[in-house]
Every structure is written in structure tokens, then in C-alpha cells.
Amino acid sequence: MWMRRHDFESLFEPMHFFRTRLGHVLDEFDRVYTHGTPWQAAGNYPKTNMVDTGETLEIVAELPGLQKEDLAIKIQGNYLAISGKSSNTVPEGYSIQRSERGEKSFSRSFTLPYEVNSEKATASLKDGLLKLTLPKSEAAKPRQITIN
């Protein structure tokens, strides 16, 4: 007994409806709520690159419009935290006509692949890029062991 094609397709319509609805619900879990803004796509700010050069770990973070006074960097062992606050100041005597770039604060932390020497760490901020150079601690550097 053969079914008509329409009857066969109608068997799968409820499954398709359920799958579509479940997909929309699960998409909501991939979003992050940030203070003062509606639901946004999940993402980490600032965007960073981390490169191991052998002797050091170099981290470059995008921080457009921020000054060094707006940032705080903390290192402890193999834990790094970058935080800051951007502000939108209006010159005296002027009034805001449109404000899309309000004040916002951020904090981003990393577990580094090894411990670094925080006393020899350097940081520079140029053209909206924060560059951190973190030398490996002596314990994290590979050693050649001679055989007796």
C-alpha cells in the first residue's frame, strides 16, 4: 500500500516545526546581555591576539579611542586581567544632539599558558592597540638537562 507523497510529507511537518522552534530557543543561549543595551551577539571585548615567541608571550588587544589612563592591567602568575572604561565627554557650552557612543566599562581575563615574569612585563598603547610583552618566568622556560 503506497502512500501519496503529500501524506508522507505531512508526517514530517510537526518535526520540522519543532526543530525550527527549538533552534530559535537555543539561539537565545548564544547571546549575552550587557548593561544598558539590548541582547547582543556574544563576543569578547577587547578582541585580542596572543602569540608565543619562545622567550615571551605577546598580546595585542584592540582598544580604539581609549587612553592609557582609562586602562588597568593586572598580572598574577599565569592570570591576566585587562579592564577599562571609555567615556564620552561633552565640551562645556555644548549639548548632545546624538549619543551612540556612551560610557562603557569592560573587563577581560585570561589564563595564560604558563607563568610570566610580571616585573619585566611591558605595555604600550598606540593607535588603539594595546601591546603587552610578557617574558616567561624562569620556571616556564625549557631547560637542557645533561646526562651523567
CATH number of 45-89+107-135: 2.60.40.790
Per-residue pLDDT tens digits for 134-146: 998 877 677 778 8
Domain ranges for the chain = 1-43, 45-89+107-135
Look at 2 and 85; give whichever has higher pLDDT: 85
The answer to whether the beta carbons of residues 140 and 115 sit under 8 Å apart is yes
Choose among 82, 16, 98: nearest CA to 46.
82
What is the pTM (predicted TM-score) of this model?
A: 0.63
For residue 30, the surrounding DSSP H or E stretch is none
Per-residue pLDDT tens digits for 47-71: 999 999 988 999 999 998 888 999 9
